């Protein structure tokens, strides 16, 4: 029993399995053995990774360079007894920390959701009797009974099955239920193809089975996924990386300037206290207090916009990450496709028919050579469609205006195809009532139904795999409904062409019974049938996904398909939606299977991940390796998924995207974003919104930094020149906090830049501010320095008080920023191209700012609080002229550069 975990259970014969597990399959384990194994293996639960305590997690929210700068500003303003300003800064820090803590706490619930999937009950055989027990009490060697509707409670090796079908989509990504049977398989069989195994957390959709438990808890396949999730580190987003780097640079610059201020004052013989207060003023001036709040608000606005577009953001920095995405790894079923099987072609009596319409909506027509056909003129077509309707246990129905199915998706597609041709199922069932059924079994690979005829005879309809059906056919239906000699070579040729297009193919046949008959046996359909035709179907691509993929490719974003489906099917869908491999690469394969991936060393996987577009039949570990390989190549990776098997890759990706409709709770908890409509086009829209959010953040930083540069430079210039400070620390805080709130924040409401999806994604190593923007910030900062310091000195030379001179300097900063704000509405274009009044929030913010500045200048209360004083019309003309010069200079720089 010690070495059980290393066994390849699918490869072992049934007798050897029970011997290794030391269990009698006819009696099960006895009570004492169960107790012994429970003590040895523990409960059938997943072990949670011990996370940081909530208090530590909260404290870590303050461990950021920018927060350290703000904490310093708060302490300094507190020391200056500026209680309101200090309180505001502390409030900004605290709110950001609380939001970050809440978001990170939610992200760590993925493994808890995995544990919940193991809860439930199980029917077992113990000591010769059947018992219903908690799934947590299962041990290796327990004999378990499965039936339709059960969730598999542990990893089982199947001992016997009866028409067993299991939905493994959450584990393997397989889009249709898997037919299970107990025969021994080859050792190298992939997880998705192990039809003699039933895995924990998968769902029994049809049939019954008996299996023996071979793994519980952490040793199951889902337990292995749990360890992969726990092993994956939470990555910093491109935005947090850039802001951390930017904050580090800013911190060094501020400390350097403060040290230069102290040095300049000391060299000039100034008192230590005055020099220290000047250094404090410079530090306060250089800190962009509004940046954290601006980031939070802009990201929150982006979150709300995406929610209205069917994308729910669970982690706010993910908004910007979308805009940085260079590769999108998408699942196939339901995301790029309709997740609704649709008959697209039908072959009967030598004719190839096409069907219009997609999904389960019974609307469309049947075409022959692009011309709609009338069913009465095509009896062979009619017989093939009737067989698909009557040899069928599923149904379609309309629920609140939406067409839904009950049963197998493939059978539902057959019903919809018949309705498009004008057949009515209820009328057919009245005319040909069913008397008996041979249900589908994996060893036979067909289903047959017996129907009574009005003339006392009967007819058998049979559907199944092409090979099994053809082997039972002696004749073929002709174009007029008569029986003719069968041409198996022509049928096989047609089948191969359909299969090459990635279509799933079913063959249909019938047999006339002339004697009364009420029971159907396999011997009755062993030979002598008439071949009716082939129906070929697939889960068609979403129309909007095709245009969304094209838009992503125009935007320089690679789209890759990672699916649990078969290679041929996946490649066919990929070609229809416009995916293609990298031309001229070392690896010319357009699609690759998980079996081929497993043989690749890491260094070769790097180039394969870059050049191949379709990855089929991949395991959870392979999905994780692909994401890691793409990240190692320098990509920002977005990964979609809906199953438990997707969770590790979702967590590893720079942005994990879960499906809201088809997705498991595990996938949703591991993801950064959830699509409420499971549609790839929503991802494309979210990428566009993410780019807009980052653009607006860059606009804010480009707008706010010249003020910090200018204020710091003014104070440093005053120290070097040995004159009074043109602005005091309290006045600096007034400038920074009011303009950030009323002017800078309004940039969050700017619309998308023209051509936002026509440009390539930003390279991950690109800094927040480019060299061009750095030059612009330097120009504006220099103009603010000259304007504020020059007007301050000019006012003093005219004999006005220092309070009046400082008020002029403050107004120069405020109105210089206001004019510059209109430049920053776009980093490339003039505000006249965007529309002067297109951002009503910005116009309103400017109006309120002007009113507040008039109060700052003329209100006695604010004069006393901030050391300001009224100024005359001449000073206002100087200030407005300075602001207009800044706007003009930046406009010329834009025109010259772009």
CB 463 within 8 A of CB 388: yes
In angstroms, how far is CA 680 from the centroid of its own chain?
Answer: 9
Locate the DSSP E strands across 611-706. Answer: 614-616, 637-641, 655-659, 673-675
Rounded Cα distance, 358 and 338, in Å: 8
For the chain, the helix, strand and coil percentages under 3-state DSSP, each to the nearest 5: 50, 15, 30
Catalytic residue among 85, 142, 150, 331: 331
- Three-state DSSP string of 830-877: CHHHHCCCCCHHHHHHHHHHHHHHHHHHHCHHHHHHHCCCCCCHHHHH
Q: How many CB atoms sit inside 10 A of residue 386's CB?
A: 23
* Helices within 22-175 (DSSP H only): 31-41, 54-59, 65-79, 83-107, 110-117, 169-172
Rounded Cα distance, 588 and 608, in Å: 9
Q: Does residue 476 sit in helix, strand or coil?
A: strand
Residue 159: partners with Cβ closer than 8 Å, 6 or more residues away: 14, 17, 18, 25, 143, 182, 209, 210, 211, 212
CA angle, corner 439, sides to 438 and 445, nearest 5?
Answer: 100
CA neighbor of 530 nearest in space, from 495, 503, 491, 499: 491
Cα dist. 331→341, 427, 643 in Å? Answer: 16, 40, 10
Question: What phi and psi values does residue 810 have, to the nearest 5 degrees?
Answer: -60, -45
Indicate the DSSP class of residue 478: -
Number of helices followed by number of strands (H, E) in the chain: 32, 28
HSE value, Cβ hemisphere, 13 Å, CA-based, for 619 = 18
| Region class of 584: left (phi > 0), else alpha (psi between -120 and 50), else beta | left
**165-190 CB burial, b ≥16 within 10 A, e <16:** bbbbbbbbbbbbbbbbbbeebeeebb
Reply yes or no on whether 331 is catalytic. Answer: yes
Rounded Cα distance, 600 and 488, in Å: 41
* Cα Rg of the chain (Å, integer): 36
Q: Report, as residue numbers or ranges, the catalytic residues.
A: 331
């Amino acid at each position: 029993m010690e070495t059980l975990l290393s066994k390849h259970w699918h490869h072992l014969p049934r007798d050897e399995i029970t011997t290794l597990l030391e269990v009698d399959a006819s009696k099960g384990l006895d009570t004492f053995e169960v107790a012994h194994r429970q003590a040895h293996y523990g409960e059938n639960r997943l072990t949670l990774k011990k996370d940081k305590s909530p208090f530590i997690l909260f404290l870590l929210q303050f461990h950021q360079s920018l927060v350290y700068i703000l904490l310093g500003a708060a302490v300094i303003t507190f020391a200056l007894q500026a209680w309101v300003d200090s309180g505001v800064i502390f409030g900004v820090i605290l709110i950001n920390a609380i939001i970050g803590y809440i978001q990170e706490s939610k992200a760590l619930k993925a493994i808890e959701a995995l544990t919940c999937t193991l809860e439930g009950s199980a029917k077992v055989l113990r000591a010769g009797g059947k018992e219903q027990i908690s799934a947590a009490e299962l041990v290796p060697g327990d004999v378990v009974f499965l039936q339709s509707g059960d969730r598999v409670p542990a990893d089982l090796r199947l001992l016997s099955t009866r028409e067993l079908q299991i939905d493994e989509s959450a584990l393997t990504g397989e889009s249709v239920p898997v037919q299970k049977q107990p025969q021994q398989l080859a050792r190298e069989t992939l997880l998705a193809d192990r039809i003699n195994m039933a895995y924990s957390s998968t769902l029994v959709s049809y049939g019954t089975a008996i299996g023996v438990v071979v793994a519980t808890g952490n040793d199951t396949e889902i337990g292995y996924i749990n360890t992969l999730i726990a092993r994956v580190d939470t990555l910093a987003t491109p935005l947090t990386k850039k802001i951390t780097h930017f904050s580090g640079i800013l911190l060094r610059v501020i400390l350097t300037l403060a040290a230069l201020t102290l040095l300049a004052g000391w060299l000039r013989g100034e008192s230590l206290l005055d020099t220290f207060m000047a250094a404090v003023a410079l530090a306060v001036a250089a800190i962009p207090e509004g940046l954290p709040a601006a980031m939070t608000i802009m990201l929150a606005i982006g979150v709300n916009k995406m929610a209205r577009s069917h994308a729910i953001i669970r982690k706010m920095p993910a908004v910007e990450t979308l805009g940085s995405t260079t590769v999108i790894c998408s699942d196939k079923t339901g995301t790029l496709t309709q997740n609704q099987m649709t008959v697209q072609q039908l072959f009967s009596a030598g004719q190839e028919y096409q069907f219009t319409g997609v999904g389960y909506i019974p609307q469309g027509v049947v075409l022959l050579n692009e011309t709609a056909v009338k069913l009465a003129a095509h009896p062979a077509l009619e017989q093939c469609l009737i067989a698909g309707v009557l040899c069928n246990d599923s149904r379609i129905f309309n629920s609140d205006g939406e067409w839904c199915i009950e049963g197998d998706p493939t059978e539902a597609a057959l019903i919809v195809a018949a309705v498009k041709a004008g057949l009515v199922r209820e009328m057919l069932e009245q005319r040909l009532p069913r008397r008996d059924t041979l249900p589908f079994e994996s060893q036979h690979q067909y289903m047959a139904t017996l129907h009574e005829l009005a003339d006392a005879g009967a007819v058998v309809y049979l559907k199944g795999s092409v090979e099994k059906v053809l082997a039972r056919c002696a004749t073929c239906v002709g174009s007029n409904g008569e029986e003719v000699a069968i041409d198996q070579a022509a049928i096989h040729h047609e089948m191969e062409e359909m299969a090459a297009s990635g279509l799933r193919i079913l063959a249909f046949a019938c047999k006339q019974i002339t004697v009364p008959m009420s029971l159907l046996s396999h011997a009755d359909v062993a030979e002598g049938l008439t071949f009716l035709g082939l129906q070929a179907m697939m889960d068609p691509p979403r129309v909007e996904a095709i245009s969304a993929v094209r838009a992503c490719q125009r935007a320089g974003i690679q789209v890759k398909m990672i699916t649990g489906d078969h290679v041929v099917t996946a490649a066919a869908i990929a070609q229809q939606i416009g995916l293609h491999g990298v031309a001229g690469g070392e690896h010319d394969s357009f699609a690759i299977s998980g079996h081929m991936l497993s043989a690749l060393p890491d260094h070769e996987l790097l180039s394969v991940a870059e050049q191949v577009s379709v990855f089929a039949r991949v395991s959870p570990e392979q999905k994780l390796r692909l994401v890691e390989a793409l990240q190692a190549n320098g990509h920002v990776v977005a990964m979609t998924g809906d199953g438990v098997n997707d969770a590790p890759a979702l967590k590893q990706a720079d942005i994990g995207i879960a499906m809201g409709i088809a997705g498991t709770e595990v996938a949703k908890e591991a993801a950064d974003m959830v699509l409420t409509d499971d549609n790839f086009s929503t991802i494309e829209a979210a990428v566009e919104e993410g780019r807009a959010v980052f653009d607006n953040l860059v606009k804010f930083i480009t707008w706010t930094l010249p003020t910090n540069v200018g204020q710091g430079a003014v104070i440093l210039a005053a120290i070097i020149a040995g004159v009074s400070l043109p602005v005091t620390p309290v006045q600096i805080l007034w400038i920074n906090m009011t303009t950030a709130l009323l002017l800078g924040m309004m940039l969050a409401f700017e619309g998308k830049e023209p051509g936002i999806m026509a440009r390539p994604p930003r390279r991950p190593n690109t800094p927040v501010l480019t060299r061009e923007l750095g030059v612009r910030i330097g120009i504006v900062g220099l103009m603010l320095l000259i304007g504020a310091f020059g007007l301050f000195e000019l006012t003093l030379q005219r004999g006005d008080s220092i309070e009046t001179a400082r008020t002029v300097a403050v107004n120069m900063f405020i109105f210089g920023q206001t004019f510059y704000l209109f430049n920053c509405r776009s980093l490339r274009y003039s505000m006249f191209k965007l529309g002067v009044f297109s951002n009503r929030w910005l116009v309103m913010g400017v109006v309120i700012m002007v009113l507040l500045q008039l109060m700052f200048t003329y209100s006695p209360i604010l004069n006393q609080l901030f050391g300001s004083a009224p100024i005359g019309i001449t000073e206002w003309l100087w200030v407005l002229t300075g602001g207009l010069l800044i706007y003009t200079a930046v406009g010329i720089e834009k025109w010259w550069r772009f």
